[in-house]
Amino acid sequence: MSVPSGPLFGLRVLELAGEFTAYPGKLLADLGANVVVVEPPGGAPARGRAPFVAATPDPEGALGWRHYNTSKRGIVLDLVGSAEDRGRFARLLADCDVLLEGRSAADRTVGALDLDPARFTGQYPTLVWTTVTPYGRTASDPDQPVTDLTLLAGAGPVLSCGYDDHDLPPVRGPGGQATHVAGSFAVAATLTALLHRTRSGRGQHIDVSVDAALNVSCELGTIQYLADGQIVSRQTGRHATVSPTNETQVRAADGQYVVLGFPPRAAAQYAALVEWIDAAGLRDDFPDVVLLELGVERGGVSIVSLATDPLAQPIWDASRAAMMLLASRLPAAEFFLGCQRRALVAGMVVSPEAAVRDPHLVARAFAVEVPDPHTGRTELHPGAPYRFSRTPWRISRPAPHLGEHTAAVLATGWTDGEHDGGTPGTPPGPAAGDQPATIAAVAPVPGSARPR
Amino acid sequence: MTTSPWEELGAPADRWAAGPPERDVHSDALRHIRVCDLSGQLAGAGATRLLAAFGAQVIRVEDPTNQGGWDILRGAPPYLDERRGIELGAGFNNHNPEKLGVTLNLRTERGRELLERLIAVSDVVTENFAGGVFARMGFPYARLRELNPSIVYVSNSGFGASGPYRDFRTWGPIVQAMSGLTFASGLPGQPPAGWGYSYMDHMGAYAMAIAVLAALWHRDRTGAGQAVDVCAVEVGISLTGTDILERHLAGLPPREPGTVHANRDPAMAPHGIYPARGEDRWIALACRDDDDWRRLAAEIGEPWAVEATLAPVAARLAGQDALDDHLGAWTVGFDAEQLAARLVAAGVPASPVRSAAGRIDGPHPATPDWGLWPTVDHPQIGPARVEGLPVHLSETDWSLRRGAPCLGEHNQFVFGELLGVDDAELADLAASGVL
């Protein structure tokens, strides 16, 4: 048996597969929790959703399923049609810490769950039961159709994102961010309830609204209105604000984009900018260098002084103009590194696939390769969002194939998954003890897996 | 009551037992947790905000040497009224409710010594300096562990505590650019639109909160603390996982700028944001499958829509540009709110692109009866609405009633009551610029 890994090692989580539960389930599973995801016969809808590994739909090749279900075991139970399966579900539930599900109060299709917290918490007094639905459990109607796009549009993020040109539509940040935002709150609240349970011995119900989560994750789009009733207006590649601000995104000499950070405040930063302008031979192209020198003499520029000191704003603006000029004359990476090595805040706009291979991330060994023994493919996933010194985050196994663990889980309950911890510090991969031979005994036909 | 190994070690059950006397704590969930919080702005303060809302005693430690400018949001816009000053920034008030506030000049020996004493009686230390800065200030994890063997230490920085960019500085938009989020958010033939706010300050904060809570769960079971390095760029990349997996498995090279269409979906068409009646009014709508499209086409009722050629999704995906043109010409004749309601009633996912006024104070909040915008009381600002939490716990729910602390507001309680510094010494510490 291997050494436990992950701060949540020993935590048992039963997840009903769903659009809004997959991500929080993954967060818990990659943190070491023993997560069993329950799919209906035929598989979770996510298995039918593009993109797929190949051009044709394949329930084992849906990339969303592959990504959002790492480190989990997967079982198939017919909770609607089989009393026997509902009994199996109840037995697993009686012995677990967290139930993660996304059913609305109005959705009566899950026979095992009478979704009434009063009755439910009486029956499972130590269970932390977390519900993630579009508008909160009581308000969410299963017939009210939503997607990631419509949720982000209704809850604030979309109106803040887009271009200076308002003839162009506002933009939805892609990648499934609605479930990421809500799922983060779901995990934080679940862990909060578990910490309380450690002291009180009691579980409880947690209701999470995706819409509410997005509403409180818009920064200025919300804060500005709450403060003074004003509405911020979207701008290209920078913060939406009440009054227009200067551009911060620049096309660099190599066609890639860079972004300027908060303008310099310290005298040393102004001095560094003067030095760089001179080193790049741009003094003649940039007469406002005198304002930068004034910034050095005045000991920098504070934000508070912008409102009160008439000279502060021109100095502040000159620093931005100097960085814009340098950005347009240099390749993106050279500008980014040149800024940061001078303690000037700037970044490069890179694609996710380039970001994960950036030298800094490679040096930190961030990306994780996960072999899938069923297909022979090696998947690449983003690595640890948090690095625990004692209990490392890790992907302990690739996403389960349909019904992969039904027989094993029904035969041995929760305990089997608790010997899969792996060894901290070793490169992640399929866990020891998770042998295909066991899995092969499970008939691959959906719903056919039964305990022996 | 069950007793955890941690409590058997003698940990207190209630960090608020000693006061301060005027303070009611309304959530029981985390009242056994004390956080020595050197973080700020949103990426750090947003994390400890969650803990404070659930009753943790969060003590924000600020540098007194630049009169409250240490956290740049303290005096920064927006404001509730015409008053200006370091106690009046609405963002700071929003991000720091229910926290206590102290000042400590960590360039002084006595300041560092007081911080050490505070760490010794805390459960958690948080900070969001650039990587390695807190260690260089004299507080590497090894030192924290000497002061308090079970301490949970979570550092949240742009590039993390190691690697060639460790010392680089960031804020939300830089993290978004470096992690791929900015790139992915745009329209074809256009520069990146990015995120019009510091999305990663929110998401970095949530990851930081999760790290604190997960480490505390482990500590409660084992008695062992640990250090956690949260790198915001890595958190950002972790929000683009399917994109990375898709490119990797297909063996495709990185995309070039201007090639993404963020409002579209690989499997749904139509799927976009279309003009509605009025200036800068928009409606988002999506057809998840052919049934959704049949319902939408029936609502449209025009010959182009009911054409059989558009019935299969493959045809709609292939002809999406023309489909979007037709659809936009139809939606622009309608009020966004009314059209969305009509389409939702017909079973088609749709939503107006809502402004803050519409979604916060409009007649029909999407998540009704939630209490999402509580009013907190701030000693100088007065009553102010802030963001609530999008979760409700049936037994130990969050509570936000007190606004952010004024600069050094709780020096007397924290240094006097908790650490036992007497009044004469406190006065001397204040006079000599330590507080």
DSSP code string of B171-213? -HHHHHHHHTHHHHSB-TTS-B---SS-HHHHHHHHHHHHHHH
Q: Contact at 8 Å (CB) between A269 and A345?
A: no
Q: How far apart are CA B414 and CA B23, in angstroms?
A: 13
Q: Are A170 and A82 part of one and the same domain?
A: yes
Q: Are B352 and B385 part of one and the same domain?
A: no
Is A231 a member of any domain?
no
- Where does the pLDDT of residue A325 fall: very low under 50, low under 70, confident under 90, or very high at 90 and above? very high
Token pair of B61 as six digits:
């430690």
pLDDT at B25: 78
- pTM for the model: 0.94
Q: Are B137 and B280 part of one and the same domain?
A: no
B375 Cα to chain A: minimum distance (Å): 10
> Residue A259 and residue B76: Cβ atoms within 8 Å?
no
Is B94 a member of any domain?
yes
Average pLDDT, chain B: 95
Is B10 a member of any domain?
yes
Q: Is residue A4 scored above 50 in pLDDT?
A: yes
Q: Show the 3-state SS of A242-269.
A: CCCCCCCEEECCCCCEEEECCCCCCHHH
pLDDT at A122: 79
The residue out of B361, B381, B405 marking a domain boundary is B361
Helices (H) and strands (E) in chain B, counts: 19, 12
- Which are the contacts of A202, defined by CB distance < 8 A and separation ≥ 6? A125, A126, A196, B395
Average pLDDT, chain A: 88
Q: Contact at 8 Å (CB) between B221 and B149?
A: no
Residue B327's domain is classified under what CATH number? 3.30.1540.10
Residue B99's domain is classified under what CATH number? 3.40.50.10540
- Where does the pLDDT of residue A115 fall: very low under 50, low under 70, confident under 90, or very high at 90 and above? low
Task: Determine the residue type at A220.
Answer: L
List residues bridging with A208 in a β-sheet: A132, B391
Is A225 a member of any domain?
no
Q: Roughly how many angstroms between the first and final C-alpha of chain A, as a whole number?
A: 24
H-type alpha helices, B180-309? 181-184, 199-222, 232-237, 241-250, 290-300, 303-306
Q: How many CB pairs under 8 A join A and B?
A: 542
A391 Cα to chain B: minimum distance (Å): 8
Is B256 a member of any domain?
no
pLDDT in tens, B157-207: 999 999 999 999 999 999 999 999 999 999 999 999 999 999 999 999 999
In whole angstroms, how large is the CA radius of gyration of chain B? Answer: 26
The secondary structure of residue B332, as a DSSP letter, is: T
CA angle, residues B229, B232, B237, in degrees to nearest 5: 115
Q: Are A376 and A338 part of one and the same domain?
A: no
Q: Which helix (H) or strand (E) holds A133?
A: strand A128-133
Q: Are A55 and A110 part of one and the same domain?
A: yes
Q: Are A273 and A388 part of one and the same domain?
A: no
Q: Which of B30, B218, B274, B397 to mutate to test the interface with A (most CBs of A within 10 A)?
A: B218
Q: Which residues of A touch B90 (CB under 8 A)?
A: 223, 226-228
H-type alpha helices, B90-198? 90-95, 109-120, 133-136, 141-147, 172-179, 181-184
- Where does the pLDDT of residue B11 fall: very low under 50, low under 70, confident under 90, or very high at 90 and above? low
Q: How far apart are CA A70 and CA A65, in angstroms?
A: 9
pLDDT at B8: 58
Percent residues over pLDDT 90 in chain B: 90
Q: Are B349 and B399 part of one and the same domain?
A: no
CA nearest A10: which of B46, B66, B130, B217? B217
CA nearest B157: which of B36, B285, B38, B27? B38
pLDDT in tens, B321-370: 999 999 999 999 999 999 999 999 999 999 999 999 999 999 888 888 99
Is A47 a member of any domain?
yes
> Residue B181 and residue A146: Cβ atoms within 8 Å?
no
Q: Are B340 and B390 part of one and the same domain?
A: no
pLDDT in tens, A167-200: 999 999 999 999 999 999 999 999 999 999 999 9
Is A263 a member of any domain?
yes
Q: How far apart are CA A142 and CA A110, in angstroms?
A: 13
Q: Which residues of B touch A50 (CB under 8 A)?
A: 266-267
CA dihedral B279, B284, B290, B291 (to 10 degrees): -90
Is A247 a member of any domain?
no
Residue A388's domain is classified under what CATH number? 3.40.50.10540
Q: Is residue A79 scored above 80 in pLDDT?
A: yes
Q: Are A377 and A330 part of one and the same domain?
A: no
Q: How far apart are CA B232 and CA B236, in angstroms?
A: 6
Q: Is residue A142 scored above 90 in pLDDT?
A: no
Half-sphere exposure of B114 (CA within 13 A, CB side): 27
Q: How far apart are CA B333 and CA B363, in angstroms?
A: 23
Q: Are A35 and A172 part of one and the same domain?
A: yes
Residue A372: alpha-carbon gap to chain centroid: 23
pLDDT in tens, B242-260: 999 999 999 999 999 999 9
Q: Are B216 and B148 part of one and the same domain?
A: yes
Q: Are B356 and B401 part of one and the same domain?
A: no
Residue span of the structural domain in which B396 resides: 5-238+372-431
The residue out of B361, B387, B406 marking a domain boundary is B361
Q: Contact at 8 Å (CB) between B83 and B44?
A: no
- Where does the pLDDT of residue B216 fall: very low under 50, low under 70, confident under 90, or very high at 90 and above? very high
Q: Contact at 8 Å (CB) between A175 and B239?
A: yes
The secondary structure of residue B279, as a DSSP letter, is: T
Q: How far apart are CA B73 and CA A220, in angstroms?
A: 12
The residue out of B331, B361, B391 marking a domain boundary is B361
Q: Are B210 and B319 part of one and the same domain?
A: no
**What's the mean pLDDT in A50-64?**
93
Residues in chain A: 452
**Candidates B29, B209, B248; nearest CB to A196:** B29
pLDDT in tens, B298-326: 999 999 999 899 999 999 999 999 999 99
Q: Are A266 and A378 part of one and the same domain?
A: no
pLDDT at A1: 36
- Which are the contacts of B374, defined by CB distance < 8 A and separation ≥ 6? B385, B386, B388, B400, B401
Structure-model confidence comparison of residues A106 and A10, the more confident one: A10
Q: Are A36 and A176 part of one and the same domain?
A: yes
Q: Which residues of A touch B193 (CB under 8 A)?
A: 161-163, 171, 236-237
pLDDT at A433: 32
Any idea which residue has 């009242």 for tokens?
B31
Structural domains in chain A (count): 2
Q: Are A285 and A212 part of one and the same domain?
A: no
Cis upstream peptide for B149 (omega within 30°): no
Structural domains in chain B (count): 2
Q: Is residue A434 scored above 50 in pLDDT?
A: no
Task: Determine the residue type at A5.
Answer: S
Percent residues over pLDDT 70 in chain A: 88
pLDDT at B272: 98
The residue out of A324, A349, A374 marking a domain boundary is A349
Q: Are B421 and B303 part of one and the same domain?
A: no
Q: Are A106 and A188 part of one and the same domain?
A: yes
Residue B258: is it exposed, middle or buried by C-beta count within 10 angstroms (0-12/13-18/19+)? Answer: middle
Is A355 a member of any domain?
no
Q: Are B151 and B13 part of one and the same domain?
A: yes
H-type alpha helices, B266-355? 290-300, 303-306, 313-318, 320-331, 336-345
- Where does the pLDDT of residue A305 fall: very low under 50, low under 70, confident under 90, or very high at 90 and above? confident
pLDDT in tens, A227-251: 999 999 999 999 999 999 989 999 9
Cα distances (Å, whole numbers) of residue A357 to A260, A360, A363, A368, A371: 22, 8, 10, 11, 19
Q: Are A261 and A324 part of one and the same domain?
A: yes
Residue span of the structural domain in which A189 resides: 12-216+365-440
Q: Contact at 8 Å (CB) between A280 and A326?
A: yes
**What's the mean pLDDT in B259-270?**
97
Cα distances (Å, whole numbers) of residue A337 to A346, B79, B104, B164, B233: 8, 36, 34, 11, 16
> Residue A169 and residue B187: Cβ atoms within 8 Å?
yes
Q: Are B53 and B179 part of one and the same domain?
A: yes
The residue out of A349, A378, A393 marking a domain boundary is A349
The residue out of A306, A321, A349 marking a domain boundary is A349
A445 Cα to chain B: minimum distance (Å): 25
Q: Which residues of A touch B179 (CB under 8 A)?
A: 352, 355
Q: Are B16 and B41 part of one and the same domain?
A: yes
The interface predicted TM-score (ipTM) is: 0.97
Q: Contact at 8 Å (CB) between B70 and B37?
A: no
Q: Which residues of B touch A97 (CB under 8 A)?
A: none
Q: Are A389 and A312 part of one and the same domain?
A: no
pLDDT in tens, B73-109: 999 999 999 999 999 999 999 999 999 999 999 999 9
- Where does the pLDDT of residue A148 fall: very low under 50, low under 70, confident under 90, or very high at 90 and above? very high
Residue A216: alpha-carbon gap to chain centroid: 16
pLDDT at A417: 60
Any idea which residue has 């809500």 for tokens?
A182
Q: Is residue B239 scored above 50 in pLDDT?
A: yes
Q: Are B203 and B142 part of one and the same domain?
A: yes
